[in-house]
Amino acid sequence: MEKPEQTRAKFRMSYFYKWMVNNKVATASAVLLLLLLNIFLLMKLSFIFTPIADFIGVISLPVVLAAVFYYLLNPIVNFAEKHRVPRLASISVVFVILIGLVIWGLSVAVPSIIDGVIDFSKRVPHYVNLAQNETNQILQDNRFSQFRPQINKTAENFGTTLIDWSKNASTSLVSSLTDVVTKTATVVIDIIVFPFVLFFLLKDGNHFTAYILQFLPQRWRKDTSSVLDKINVQLSAYVRGQVGVALAVTALLLIGLPAIGLRYGVVLAILSGVFNLIPFLGFFLSIVPALVIGLATGGPIMLLKVIVIFAIEQTLESRLISPLILGSQLKIHPITIIFVLLTAGKIWGVWGVLLAIPAYATAKVLVTHIFEWYREISELYENEETEPSSD
């Protein structure tokens, strides 16, 4: 009768052991198959998570707003606390300032912006006609004769689309505001939850990591703390950087657009700052209405002035402001950002575009940490022994 050691030795020499049990490809395929099976089962049981998804949908807006304001205001509160100002006192002062800014915005800034957008949308057909006339006069030059049919067709299609949009813009804006007002329950929940979430984040946000770690096994705490700290750094860098760049862009355009005499210059500057919160796409969303208004109200000269102002703004932003404020902390390639924005916008719409980059930065931290852990334990990444030199 064979001994157990002999049986095990024979088993290790068998093809089944070599190709299935001790084969990394087979093991990885089995793990992948189990993972996909779990995903399939979760999809079949998705009705269980529907109430959770509804709850997240209700609180998502106030929580996201609170998180954004937390990353903006927490450095101020921490600075005051380091200078022996009680944390509750500094938070109270910050809330008083925020309430004052909200009251000013609701009473002065927001109505002015809405009136400007509505007035602009009503005048768009007139501006489009003026812009088309200016374009036709430019195209009368014989040097542009070969491009005239294509440019005329493009301008006609763009003008028709813009006029159709303008006819519905005022009604859509009013109806959108009406829909917001009619959804009283959601608005009230957002208004009530947002300041409370922000208050507790400012008060106890610095202890969040320690609170999470106490529920984890001791050997997991160091790695989890490192991952949470890296995610916090990434999110804070993104939020503060994007808001800082948007404010700088708004300030530049508030100086430049009114200086050249562009109509609705102040409104366009503020909207450009808001659009700039969307990476890459924000610039194109802000420059198109400025170009239309410039060409319609001032002809080619004003159009050239608008192009110069936006060229100066974009140069300062890309060469000075963004590197100074954002730096290279996110370490995300521009092409990657474009693909992430396009994919997230297609799947999740506006929310996807706004949250795609911070979500990607968070996922990147997690995936990088998992890969580094796998590289430490895997034999695939072991350093090869250097062969002895022949001399």
Per the CB < 8 A criterion, the answer to whether 228 and 365 are in contact is no
SS (H, E, C) the chain: CCCHHHHHHHHHHCHHHHHHHCCHHHHHHHHHHHHHHHHHHHHHCHHHHHHHHHHHHHHHHHHHHHHHHHHHHHHHHHHHHHCCCCHHHHHHHHHHHHHHHHHHHHHHHHHHHHHHHHHHHHHHHHHHHHHHHHHHHHHCCHHHHHHHHHHHHHHHHHHHHHHHHHHHHHHHHHHHHHHHHHCHHHHHHHHHHHHHHHHHHHHHHHHHHHHHHCCCCHHHHHHHHHHHHHHHHHHHHHHHHHHHHHHHHHHHHHHHHHHCCCCCHHHHHHHHHHHCCCCCHHHHHHHHHHHHHHHHHHHHHHHHHHHHHHHHHHHHHHHHHHHHHCCCCCCCCHHHHHHHHHHHHHHHHHHHHHHHHHHHHHHHHHHHHHHHHHHHHCHHHCCCCCCCCCC
pLDDT by residue for the chain (391 residues), tens only, comes to 556 666 666 656 665 566 665 666 667 777 888 889 988 888 887 777 777 777 777 777 788 888 888 988 888 888 888 888 888 899 999 889 888 887 877 677 667 666 766 666 666 666 666 666 766 666 666 665 565 666 666 666 666 665 565 555 555 554 554 554 455 556 666 777 788 888 888 888 888 888 888 888 888 888 888 888 888 888 888 888 888 888 888 999 999 988 998 887 888 888 888 888 877 777 888 888 888 788 777 777 888 898 999 999 888 887 777 777 665 566 677 777 778 878 887 887 777 877 888 888 888 888 888 888 877 776 666 664 444 444 4
- This prediction's pTM: 0.65
Residue 251: predicted pLDDT? 92
* The predicted structure's pLDDT at residue 389: 46
Q: Where are the domains of the chain?
A: 50-159+184-201
Specify the length of the chain in residues: 391
Place of tokens 């319609």: 296
Report the pLDDT value the prediction gives residue 386, as an integer from 0 to 100. Answer: 44
